[in-house]
Chains A and B, each alone.
Chain A
Amino acid sequence: MKRLFLAAALVLSGPAMAQPTGDLGLVVERASGSLLVVDQSERARIGRIEGLGDLSHASLVYSPDQRFAYVFGRDGGLTKVDILERSIVNRVIQGGNSIGGAISDDGGLVAVSNYEPGGVRIFDADTLEMVADIPTGSKTIGLVDIPGRRFVFTLWDAGETWIADMSGDEPAITKITGMGENPYDALVTGDGRTYITGLFGADHLTALDLWQDDPKPQPILDGYAAGREGLPVYKMPHLEGWALAGNEFVLPAVGQREVLWVDARDLTETGRTATHGQPVFAIARPDGRQVWVNFAHPDNDTIQVIDTMSKEVVHEFKPGPGVLHMEFTPRGHEVWLSVRDAGKVIVYDTRTFEKLREIDAESPSGIFFTARAHRTGL
Chain B
Amino acid sequence: MILALLIAGTANAGDAPRVDAQALERFVLQDCGSCHGLTLKGGLGPDIRPQSLEHYDRETLSSVVLDGIPGTAMPPWRPLLSRAEADWIATYLLTGDTE
Chain A interface (Cβ < 8 Å from any Cβ of B): 30-31, 54, 56-57, 74-75, 97, 99, 115-116, 139, 141, 156, 182, 184, 200, 232-236, 297-298, 322, 340-341
Q: Closest CB-CB distance, A323 to chain B, in whole Å?
A: 13
Quick check: is B19 within 8 A (CB to CB) of the other chain? Answer: no
Describe A's contact surface by its main secondary structure: loop
Describe B's contact surface by its main secondary structure: loop
By a CB distance below 8 angstroms, the chain A residues around B22 are none
Q: What are 24 A-B pairs with beta-carbon distances under 8 A?
A: A30-B38, A54-B37, A54-B38, A57-B34, A74-B38, A74-B39, A97-B37, A97-B41, A97-B42, A97-B43, A99-B43, A115-B42, A115-B44, A156-B44, A182-B73, A200-B73, A232-B68, A232-B75, A232-B79, A233-B75, A234-B31, A235-B31, A297-B34, A322-B30
By a CB distance below 8 angstroms, the chain B residues around A31 are 38
A236 touches B79 (CB 8 A): no
Quick check: is B13 within 8 A (CB to CB) of the other chain? Answer: no
Nearest neighbor of B26 in chain A, beta-carbon distance:
A341
Chain B interface (Cβ < 8 Å from any Cβ of A): 26, 30-31, 33-35, 37-39, 41-44, 68, 73, 75-77, 79-80
A314 to B41, CA, bound (A): 41
Nearest neighbor of B27 in chain A, beta-carbon distance:
A297
A340 to B31, CA, bound (A): 12
B35 touches A340 (CB 8 A): no
By a CB distance below 8 angstroms, the chain B residues around A182 are 73
By a CB distance below 8 angstroms, the chain A residues around B73 are 182, 184, 200, 233, 236
By a CB distance below 8 angstroms, the chain B residues around A54 are 37-39
A74 to B37, CA, bound (A): 7
By a CB distance below 8 angstroms, the chain B residues around A97 are 37, 41-43
A56 touches B33 (CB 8 A): yes
By a CB distance below 8 angstroms, the chain B residues around A75 are 39
- 15 additional contacts (CB under 8 A) given A56-B37, A297-B80, A298-B80: A74-B38, A75-B39, A115-B44, A116-B42, A141-B44, A182-B73, A232-B75, A232-B76, A233-B75, A234-B75, A235-B35, A236-B35, A236-B44, A236-B73, A297-B31
A115 to B35, CA, bound (A): 12
A249 to B25, CA, bound (A): 37
Q: Closest CB-CB distance, B67 to chain A, in whole Å?
A: 10
Q: Closest CB-CB distance, B69 to chain A, in whole Å?
A: 12
Nearest neighbor of B68 in chain A, beta-carbon distance:
A232
Nearest neighbor of B33 in chain A, beta-carbon distance:
A56
Q: Closest CB-CB distance, B68 to chain A, in whole Å?
A: 7
Q: Closest CB-CB distance, B53 to chain A, in whole Å?
A: 17
By a CB distance below 8 angstroms, the chain B residues around A341 are 26
A235 touches B38 (CB 8 A): no
A340 to B35, CA, bound (A): 17
Q: Closest CB-CB distance, B97 to chain A, in whole Å?
A: 16
Nearest neighbor of B76 in chain A, beta-carbon distance:
A232
Q: Closest CB-CB distance, B80 to chain A, in whole Å?
A: 6
Nearest neighbor of B42 in chain A, beta-carbon distance:
A97
By a CB distance below 8 angstroms, the chain B residues around A57 are 34, 37-38, 43
Q: Closest CB-CB distance, B5 to chain A, in whole Å?
A: 19
B44 touches A184 (CB 8 A): yes
Within the complex, which residue of A156, A184, A200, A340 is in contact with B30, where a contact is CB–CB below 8 Å? A340
Q: Closest CB-CB distance, B99 to chain A, in whole Å?
A: 10
